[in-house]
Amino acid sequence: GAGVSQSPRYKVAKRGQDVALRCDPISGHVSLFWYQQALGQGPEFLTYFQNEAQLDKSGLPSDRFFAERPEGSVSTLKIQRTQQEDSAVYLCASSELGGAGDIQETQYFGPGTRLLVL
Amino acid sequence: KQEVTQIPAALSVPEGENLVLNCSFTDSAIYNLQWFRQDPGKGLTSLLLIQSSQREQTSGRLNASLDKSSGRSTLYIAASQPGDSATYLCAVTTSGTYKYIFGTGTRLKVLA
């Protein structure tokens, strides 16, 4: 079946430009996560949605980063006034159930969007 | 604050060798630990998930163990193959949360 898809796969932006990254989770998955992976590092948590509700945005590095999931399916991560330090791979993941607590579940990851800010 | 460390950072072995990848975490109050594989330009593929109450999980040539009290996990790969070449990441979640805290990964290269 279809997995998590992300678009674009690659994005080159000039410093100061706004970008929007899209994530299509697995159909019916309740939870959606965004992670940022710098070169040579492990992914770092950015934000978490349960359906359309953004329950945790503690990992967003600055107020230039904004994420939404208005209808509880597709999500968009927007970065305003991009800086060179924003260059990274942005990974989206989804899981079937509501995340936390006593539920053992796997997050399914998309291929990522590689963002390069010049 | 939970920190996850993976050793070694990179490993190159000849085909057929058995090998061990190490993962350590600073806060033993984890909910589960998961091993992932990441191929260049691709997302993460889940390999094994170990619940906090478990000691190990096996899938094919892979075996992962967990020692919560010492804050360690190992991923054992038997009879390595060139197709095993990838970056291996471990990640933990803490009770009551959902976010993965990842290590920096081990880049494995298996030579034919």
**pLDDT tens digits, B40-95:** 878 899 899 998 889 999 999 999 999 999 999 999 999 999 999 999 999 998 76
| Residue appearing with tokens 């190992």 | B74
Q: Annotate B56-88 with three-state secondary structure.
A: EEEECCEEEEEECCCCEEEEEECCCCHHHCEEE
**pLDDT tens digits, A84-104:** 999 999 999 998 876 554 445
Q: A44 contacts in B (CB within 8 Å)?
A: 102
Assess B66–A contact: CB distance below 8 Å, yes or no: no
Cα distance between the two ends of chain A: 37
Give residue B96's pLDDT band: very low, low, confident or very high (50, 70, 90).
low
Q: A53 contacts in B (CB within 8 Å)?
A: none
Chain A nearest C-alpha distance from B14 (Å): 23
pLDDT at B31: 85
- Average pLDDT estimate for A31-50: 94
Q: A33 contacts in B (CB within 8 Å)?
A: 98-99
Q: A106 contacts in B (CB within 8 Å)?
A: 34, 46, 49
Cis preceding linkage at A70, omega within 30: no
Distance CA B6, CA A46 (A): 21
Please indicate whether, in this complex, the C-beta atoms of A100 and B97 are within 8 angstroms of each other: yes
Distance CA A53, CA A33 (A): 12
Assess A104–B contact: CB distance below 8 Å, yes or no: yes
Assess B43–A contact: CB distance below 8 Å, yes or no: yes
| Residue appearing with tokens 């305003």 | A80
pLDDT at B51: 87
pLDDT at B94: 78
Q: What is each CA distance from A9 to A20, A91, B44, B85, in whole angstroms?
A: 12, 10, 15, 23
User: In this model, does residue A25 exceed pLDDT 60?
Assistant: yes
